[in-house]
Amino acid sequence: MDLTWSDTEEAFRAEARAWLEEALAAWRERHGGRILSGDTAEGFAQHLDWERTLAEAGWAVVSWPAEHGGRDATRWQWLVFEEEYYRAGAPARITQNGIFLLAPTVFEFGTPEQQAHVLPRMARGDDLWCQGWSEPDAGSDLASLKSRARRDDERGGWVLDGQKTWTTRGAFCTHLFGLFRTDPDSERHRGLTYLMVPLDLEGITVRGFGRLDGDEGFAEVFLDDAFVPDDAIPGGVVLGGVGAGWSVAMATTSSERGLTLRSPGRFTATADRLVALCREQEARLGPDPRRRDRVVQGWMEAEAYRLQTLQTVTDDAEGRPAGAASSLVKLWWSELDVALHETAMDLLGPDAELEGAWSKGWQFSLSGPIYAGTNEIQRNIAAERVLGLPRK
């Protein structure tokens, strides 16, 4: 593994840095410098404006083929772009569930017609996708889901019943992807089908609800005899074949737990901000060796995660995909995020504000060990599928 960026990658970095600085300044000015959370209705509209700015300049999906809206960047260039994106303080991607979760699955399992329709519209922000995984009785235990899809050959489509919940930004999205039980006699992982569903169909009710931090970032999706025609998505609404949903979904969860959702640039940028915060606090209050040690430890762990990511990308490029080891990646980034923000809150002490950036980041970091499959589930997967330990 060569840790030196090539001249091509450095040129790519310089181009990305220059564009981000100029485009971010213009975007902030357009919105009067008042940038809201993307998990509110008004903030979502602001952030969608940013997403379309990215797309128009070809920076929305840098590693995708140009025919689908990307710029044919390598995986290494994607990592460079991510580092520059977070270094610049650019906003969280409201399209991330589509771009980072559904899109890799469409590339792997979608037909050419599905890819030609879904991917460019996703890149441009024409269609906004949310993930329909969790249900009232099926969170981390995804195989226990109960939402059903019944085939209606006469009308040419599927009839959906059930309920999805904890749907991130579902109240603001136009489409949902998720698993449905299409064999009523099946159990657990069998008889499931992966469907792509427009949310404006008759029989679908989307009801947003607030999170602990007050943002309206979640939604419940109720499906009541909702008919989704096959041609709602050119090429069909089924991804990967009827009854093959579990294997298709596992590809999506691998993306969710692995690198595409949480690239290291996010954490190295946070660690750099933490070092700056420590210097500010020490300038006012004097040095504190205990807190300084925690800051150094956090910075080193973020750098270690970055180096491990480079190894993971190298392995993938050489035909050794992470597979179940993506559970270890998820454990790493989720616990690292909590540790960095807890250290910041400790540094701030009574100076921490409930609505400040560090406080908001800390509140969000607490959800990391829960979403994308709880860390308890990830430890079971790592024990059984990576270490080969017996099931309890």
Which residues are tagged catalytic?
256
Q: What phi, psi does 224 have (nearest 5°)?
A: -130, 95
Determine the Cα–Cα distance for residues 2 and 111; give it in Å rounded to an integer: 36
Triad 161, 178, 60: Cα angle to 5°: 140
Q: How far is CA 251 from the centre of its chain?
A: 14
Which residue type does 381 have?
I
Which residue type does 352 have?
A
Determine the Cα–Cα distance for residues 61 and 107; give it in Å rounded to an integer: 13
Determine the Cα–Cα distance for residues 260 and 248; give it in Å rounded to an integer: 17
The answer to whether the beta carbons of residues 239 and 248 sit under 8 Å apart is yes
Question: What Cα–Cα distance (Å) separates residue 5 from each residue in 1, 54, 76, 79, 101?
Answer: 11, 24, 9, 11, 27
Query: Cβ of 67: how many Cβ atoms within 10 Å?
Result: 11
Helix (H, G, I), strand (E, B) or coil at 118: helix
The answer to whether the beta carbons of residues 301 and 270 sit under 8 Å apart is no
The answer to whether the beta carbons of residues 70 and 78 sit under 8 Å apart is no
Determine the Cα–Cα distance for residues 206 and 184; give it in Å rounded to an integer: 25
Which residue type does 66 have?
A
| 174: nearest Cα among 261, 98, 93, 251 | 98
Bridge partners for 238 per DSSP: 195
Alpha helices in 213-356 (DSSP H): 245-257, 265-285, 289-317, 326-348
Query: Cβ of 260: how many Cβ atoms within 10 Å?
Result: 19
Question: Which DSSP string do the residues of 4-56 spell out, in sequence order?
Answer: SPPHHHHHHHHHHHHHHHHHHHHHHHHTTT-PPPTTSHHHHHHHHHHHHHHHH
